[in-house]
Amino acid sequence: MEIDARRANAFLRDPGACRAILLYGEDVGLIRSRGAALVKLVAGGTDDPFRLIELERDAADRIPEEMAAMSLTGGRRVVRLRDATDAVLGHVTRALQGRGEGFLIVEAPGLPSRGKLRALFKAASDAAAVACYPVQGRDLLALIRQMVTEAGVQVDSDALTWLGDQLGADMAVTQREIEKLILYAGPGGRVDMEAARVSVGELSGLSMEDALFAATSGDIQATDRALELAVAEGLTGVGVLRQALVHLQRLHRVRLAMAGGMPASEAAKAARPPVFFRREGAFVQALGLWSAEALQAACQRVWDAERACKRTGAPDIALAMSAVLGLAQRSAAARRR
């Protein structure tokens, strides 16, 4: 089944007889937080290694057997697959055809909206596909107001509007910044413009995606700032590179669509998953700087960097940051030509 955005939160709190959920979309932070919430709901957290099996994409062939296995300590097992693509379709199909009692969570940032994996979950009676896109506009303002109000804090209208402009690119970042703001205001406190700026700061809206959009549009300084913030918030080297690969792959798909003569601005609006409206300008600029061949080559370099990160003792953060800054330098050079 397909779960629309309005029903997503309620469904994820009670998925009923569903035994497999696909989390896909542009908001990586929301995908991760929803995946973690499902693990807690089904397995009670991550303390029991016999009830939670976390797999990377290259180990997807283990999904059917892990779904069928019984927990040695009792309770339902959760199999959580990270960074999935349509390449895992066969393994997931076999798992859904089996009779195991395990619960499958598939996290697939950047999955094409018409991808085969999404179609599989949409058609299955005991599985669901849940889109995870950035919250924006009135929905974002309502979320911010709800969070501060539930904490017993008031927020001025101008501060709320400013927060809406700064946040929303990544749900995990948004939640952390609002929680920090609530602590700053204190119980019964009030958030005005000064409090918002002091607590959240001008760089709060930055995320790994900001770094990547800046990199592929040639803004080296913004790439460096956003990248340092993302790493400071706990993102690993492999995590940086996987998000970079998703971003480049989406650019590559749109660039191929432009081969038929579609203008860059029109192609960007047709991108799937959709481009967050505040990033459309950077996305269009990147399409003008990168050919399909250059994007394909960049994908390979990022993939090689990820493999290098997995070697024992490798300086993964340094390798990842170098790879992303390399994208920015290449884009900046293209802008000067």
Considering the domain architecture, whether residues 100 and 218 belong to the same structural domain is answered as no
Position 335, amino acid = R
Rounded average pLDDT over 205-224: 86
| Domain boundary, last residue among 176, 200, 224 | 200
Express each pLDDT in 220-270 by its tens digit.
Answer: 988 988 888 777 767 788 888 888 988 898 899 899 888 878 888 887 777
> Which residue type sits at 270?
A
Rounded CA-CA distance 77/79 in Å is 7
pLDDT value for 204: 47
pLDDT of amino acid 201: 61
Q: Which of 111, 131, 151 is the last residue of a domain?
A: 131
Same domain, 247 and 302: yes
Q: Structurally, how many domains does the chain consist of?
A: 3
What letter would DSSP give residue 71? P
Domain span including residue 196: 137-200
Q: Does residue 285 contact residue 217 with C-beta atoms inside 8 Å? A: yes
CATH number of 65's domain: 3.40.50.300
Q: What is the mean pLDDT of the chain?
A: 85
**Do 142 and 223 belong to one domain?**
no
Question: Do 214 and 317 reside in the same domain of the chain?
Answer: yes
The predicted-structure confidence for 39-83, as pLDDT tens digits, reads as follows 989 888 766 677 888 888 888 899 998 888 877 666 788 999 988
**Given 147, 171, 200, which residue is the final one in a domain?**
200
DSSP state of 310: T
> What residues pair up with 127 in beta bridges, in sequence order?
20
- The residue-averaged pLDDT of 124-131 equals 91
More confident residue, 112 or 291: 291
pLDDT tens column, 136-152: 778 888 888 988 998 99
Candidates 135, 133, 56, 66; CA nearest to 103 is 66
Q: Are residues 187 and 241 both part of a single domain?
A: no
pTM over 0.85: no
Q: What is the pLDDT of residue 215?
A: 96
Provide the percentage of residues in the chain whose pLDDT is more than 90.
29
